Amino acid sequence: MSNRGSEWRKWDLHFHTPSSYDYQDKSITNEKIIEILENNNISVIAITDHHLIDVEKIIDLQNIGKNKNITVLPGIEFRAELGGSESIHYIGIFSEKLNKQELTDIWIKLQSTCKITQTDIQAIGGDANIQCDFKETSKLIHELGGLVSVHAGTKANTFENITNSLPDKIAQKVGLVKGYIDIFELGKEVDQTSYNNIVFPNLGFKLPMIICSDNHKITDYIVKQNLWIKANPTFEGLKQICYEPEQRVKIQNDKPDFKEDKVIINKVKFISSNKVFTDNEIYLNPNLNVIIGGKSSGKSIFLYSIAKTLLVDDTILKNENLEEKYNLKSIDSDFNFEITTNAGISQEMFRNSEENSIIPDIKYIPQNYLVKLAEPDINKKGKSLNKLVRDLINEDQDSKEKYDQFIRNVKQNDKERDDLLNRYFELLEEVAKSESELKTKSNKEVLEKNIKSNTENVEKLNKESGLSDEQILKYKEIQSKLEFNTVRKNNFNDDFANINSGLSDLKKLSNEILEKKKEFVEKIKTENSKQYYINKLSFIDDIYLNISKIFEEIEVQTDETGKRTFKNENLLKNNLISINEERGVLTKELEPYQQNEKLKKQIEILNQSIIDDKKLLADIALLNKAILDKKALIENCRKDIFKLFKENFDEYNNIINELKHRTLELEGDGLKIDGIAQFNFPKFAKNLYEVSDGRKASYNNYTILKETNKATSPTNFNDIIGEIEKIFIDIINGDYFILAKYGKMQAIKELLEDYFFDYWKITYRDDKLGEMSTGKASFVILMLIIGLSKSKAPILIDQPEDNLDNRSITLDLVSYLKNKKLERQIIIVTHNANIVVNSDAENVIIANQKGQNEIDTSSKFKFDLINGSIENTFEKVLKETDILKSMGIREHIADIVEGGKEAFKKREKKYGF
């Protein structure tokens, strides 16, 4: 049978046989009793016949039970003098290791003390006349090495009958409880609540509560609720429920501490043909497994081997020089390591690289890892604590998806901000270019005077050509239409350029949106959902196709002579034909008024000058308007940039609120995590200093750039945005001096980088993490790693007690491990007795290396291991030369771990003797 330490089994500690005067079927055989118990999956029973220990029957039941893995504990049920007519019943239970003579001697002593005669025992109903002094008998049971359980709760003949009152009155009888009673046996209708909420608070201590069958007819064997005890199926195992009354015993139907088979390591095995490592399979408990041993005994190698076999990211397995911490092949060239889960899946350390880990999300905390995280100023390498906390929060799939979406939102904002900044500087450049161009244009007053003068000269020349006043008016009318035609042609050219450019941009943008849509729907895994959104978003395809068609309409082709014409019929082509035809008609209409070639030439020159000057005036007006419009766009662009800046800050606040529920889960352990949207002042200052002209030191004028600011300094968004806007304007205006090699655009981009981050401030019992001792901070970080992790995979910890004082271990770490082992399998290497004993480790693994101890061993392996429960106990066997097999697990703990004996004494003080 595999040994994995203390395991949950069904026990029945109040069980009668035909030897009891009130048994209902005297003909039942011992074989039948064991058979029925086996069918009901009972691992341990206590024979508790009324005022009788039938030694022969108990010995026979024990022998039969051994073959069925059923332990039979000898016991006896008494009726006390307490409680009047409803006198209480109590039970004495003894070790299964007692031989026939020892058990006979115990029975004789009990008979003598209780004054039980053979006549009493044999008399029908004689039990009713036997009363044994409760205190005296209980004291004797303890002196004989036994335990006392008392009927309580809703069961008949209960402890409450002493007072004939409510359970809270039991506190008045505390003298009868402490030192005399070890276990409360509740009735079949279990009333655990009143004991947990009323009795124990009044007593000031807890006793284990059990429920039993009180069976008097095995063929009607019924247990309304199962009694589960987590221990070796021995009397020594039973004693553990007195030390751990809350965690070692449960009354419920299903097996306690359920964990999924796929995330529990069932057993491990070294594969070592050279006999360097033991070839025995080491079975692990689903709860707390501790590995102890002397110096260089292979404890950490054992833990490392589990981590190396299962971890996906092996970074944590390496030293600072990126070498493997243990080169196992150098210790044994044929080395391998095999892990098997409770689901029956096995995996080796050295395997095909394409074979995925069977438990990929285990947690491995190597030696000194916690200290490195707790001392970030000393240890610069590795993952930052803030990132570690964030990653742990995001182990939850829902939280991870939210955080991933947050990152996408922030990156999209960053891209939009970068695009806006590019646009901002494009507009600045366009304004500068327009203003420069404006300076090249003639003076508006000069142009207006020149137009007036040339117009008068044209009229004068027309009169000289002999044209009447009426003809001159007609001429001027046609000439005006020609000028307007020229404006139309110029506008057409501008429109075509803008339409061509605009449609090209729209086509590009619509194609980007189309690609985004394809990417979006491809990520949807459910087919009907995918098809739904393909249909819903089909308008995006239509937009792209429609824009492409519109763009194709204005496609231009060039013939052999170099003449450019529209390839397809379209509005622009029709407009151009209209403009050209109109110009032809108007030019022809002017011909009768231009007979005198010399005057005609002069008039043409003057008219062209008028047209050019008017165009210049129009250009100046357009340029001025364009400059004003672009300056308005620049201001709007600046506002949009800072709007995005605010939106980024809001994204951080939003994701912190979204993830807050994950941090609330730890508050029950006294751990508080506050998410804060923080501004990284040092990074901001560093980046701006690099582009700033140090000779002018403009940065000295701004509070936000002071060197005293830290990454965790208070972040007041309004103050930050106000200062950044001021620096922005000063850079643009040239009042903040930038190094020439960078320029304003680079400086602004550095200024507006995303310097926000989600900061997770940690306090433990009102003590801030950054202000704690290294040891306490290490423990808090351990709590974070375990408490925030959503995975139910095993946790591997190498010497968590390092840098922790004994008080922190005793008060904090031990209590924390006792709670967390109920949720996840934990495997720990430790030298600390409190972790082993007072955390109530279910499975203790003893490691030994041959030649490392003062006492040698006959083991054939250089590295050997043995494992078992704390309650596995026997004194050192001097003849046994294999050191691991020479004593019990308890004795190994006392021998190896400093303070082991004291730890056991401290634990057993709870027992009340």
Domain chopping of the chain, boundaries: 7-251, 271-362+791-911, 403-649, 652-760
Alpha-carbon distance of 208 to 115, in angstroms, equals: 30
Mean pLDDT along residues 555-581: 88
CATH fold group of domain 271-362+791-911: Rossmann fold (3.40.50)
Residue pLDDT, tens place only, 370-379: 888 887 554 4
| 161-175, 496-510, 817-831, 878-892: segment of lowest average pLDDT | 161-175
Q: Categorize the per-residue pLDDT at 385 as very low, low, confident or very high, splitting at 50, 70 and 90.
A: confident
Mean pLDDT along residues 558-579: 88
Three-state SS at 122: helix
Asked whether the predicted pLDDT for residue 611 surpasses 90, the reply is no
Asked whether the predicted pLDDT for residue 42 surpasses 80, the reply is yes
CB 594 within 8 A of CB 388: no
Alpha-carbon distance of 593 to 469, in angstroms, equals: 12
Q: Which pLDDT value is given to residue 382?
A: 47
Q: Which pLDDT value is given to residue 739?
A: 93
Q: How far is CA 516 from CA 416, 502, 513, 520, 798, in A?
A: 15, 21, 5, 6, 47
CATH fold group of domain 7-251: TIM Barrel (3.20.20)
Q: Which pLDDT value is given to residue 82?
A: 81
CB 899 within 8 A of CB 810: no
The distance of Cα 392 from the centroid of its chain, to the nearest Å, equals 3
Residue pLDDT, tens place only, 112-131: 988 887 766 666 555 657 88
Residue with tokens 């508050």: 667
Q: Which pLDDT value is given to residue 592?
A: 74
Mean pLDDT along residues 14-21: 93
Q: Are strands 265-271 and 336-341 parallel, antiparallel or unpaired?
A: antiparallel
Q: Which pLDDT value is given to residue 379?
A: 44
Mean pLDDT along residues 701-708: 91
Mean pLDDT along residues 201-223: 89
Three-state SS at 15: strand
Residue pLDDT, tens place only, 390-418: 888 888 889 999 999 999 999 999 999 99
Alpha-carbon distance of 145 to 901, in angstroms, equals: 20
Alpha-carbon distance of 715 to 141, in angstroms, equals: 69
Alpha-carbon distance of 863 to 644, in angstroms, equals: 62
| 33-42, 147-156, 382-391: segment of lowest average pLDDT | 382-391
Residue pLDDT, tens place only, 523-544: 999 999 999 999 999 999 999 9
Tell me how crowded residue 295 is: count the other CB atoms within 10 A of its CB: 9
DSSP H helical segments within 554-596, as ranges? 571-590
CB 812 within 8 A of CB 779: yes
Residue pLDDT, tens place only, 300-343: 999 999 999 999 988 888 877 778 888 888 888 889 999 999 99
Of 580, 554, 579, residue with least CA distance to 569: 554
Asked whether the predicted pLDDT for residue 293 surpasses 70, the reply is yes
